[in-house]
């Protein structure tokens, strides 16, 4: 269960990585001036588990990964974006933290769907998914740790968010399921989620 019930406070805040305050004046495509207030950055830990149909196989993919949540206010309207740290290279946004997290989970899943469609057997799918889930970039990982440091120093506030151990290792698993598990997927699809998404602030 995601414990995001309140929005991150708006207004000028220190960015987690740079520790500076600034206001940027911007103009949109039709020429109206917009004001962007500084971003707030939170380091997230997430846990996903999903079943994916491929060409002649059924797989279960689970992951405990890392992401960065960024909040920016443009012309008074708050937007939240979540960017993958591991896996890297995916991002999703929304008007609230809940919406952004839901979109991020969907983005993660659509990559698995793409890989399932592009591969012809479980072995190839397994290899491609492991490459995706293991992907990271040092500079972004360093930024994530910078955000962790800011949370630990209480420079960044994360009200009403659960905290998790930032030292938790990133883990993932790609397993082929037996046909008997297929029935569970069908049942799960018609009812509750197979595993609710979990997200915590890394500290």
Partner 1 sequence: MTIKRLFLLVEVLNALDECLPGCRWTIGRHNYRIYPPDGGASCRFPTGAHGKKSGRAEIQRQHVQNLAEVFGVKECLEKALPGL
What residues make contact with partner 1 under the rule CB under 8 A? 24-29, 34, 36, 81, 83, 88-91, 93, 107, 110-111, 113-114, 117-118, 135-137, 139-140
Strands 88-94 and 163-164: unpaired
Closer to partner 1 by Cβ: residue 64 or 70: 70
| Shortest Å distance, C-beta 60 to partner 1 | 19
Closer to partner 1 by Cβ: residue 91 or 181: 91
Q: Which residues contact 39 (CB under 8 A, 6 or more apart)?
A: 15, 70, 71, 72
The per-residue b/e assignment along 112-128, b for 16 or more CB within 10 angstroms, e otherwise, is: beebbeebeebeebbeb
| Shortest Å distance, C-beta 95 to partner 1 | 13
Strand residue runs (E) in the chain: 24-27, 33-53, 58-74, 77-86, 88-94, 163-164, 171-176, 198-202
Closer to partner 1 by Cβ: residue 125 or 203: 125
| Shortest Å distance, C-beta 86 to partner 1 | 10
CA atoms within 13 A on the CB side of 176: 13
| Shortest Å distance, C-beta 11 to partner 1 | 20
Closer to partner 1 by Cβ: residue 3 or 24: 24
Closer to partner 1 by Cβ: residue 110 or 182: 110
| Shortest Å distance, C-beta 181 to partner 1 | 24
Whether a cis peptide bond, with omega within 30° of 0, leads into 53 is no
């Amino acid at each position: 269960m995601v414990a995001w019930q309140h929005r991150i406070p708006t207004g000028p805040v220190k960015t987690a990585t740079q520790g500076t305050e600034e206001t940027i004046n911007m103009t949109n495509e039709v020429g109206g001036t917009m004001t962007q207030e500084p971003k707030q950055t939170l380091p997230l830990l997430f846990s996903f588990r999903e079943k994916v149909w491929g060409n002649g196989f059924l797989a279960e993919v689970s992951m405990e990964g890392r992401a960065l949540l960024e909040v920016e206010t443009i012309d008074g309207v708050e937007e939240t974006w979540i960017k993958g740290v591991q896996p890297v290279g995916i991002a999703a946004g929304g008007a609230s933290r809940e919406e952004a997290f839901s979109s991020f989970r969907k983005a993660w899943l659509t990559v698995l769907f793409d890989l399932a469609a592009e591969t012809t057997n479980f072995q190839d799918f397994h290899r491609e998914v492991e490459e995706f889930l293991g992907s990271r970039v040092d500079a972004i990982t360093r930024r994530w740790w910078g955000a962790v440091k800011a949370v630990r120093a209480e420079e960044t506030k994360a009200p009403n968010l659960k905290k998790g151990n930032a030292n938790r290792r990133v883990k993932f698993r790609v397993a082929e399921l037996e046909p008997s598990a297929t029935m569970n997927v069908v049942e799960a699809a018609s009812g509750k989620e197979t595993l609710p998404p979990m997200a915590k602030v890394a500290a």
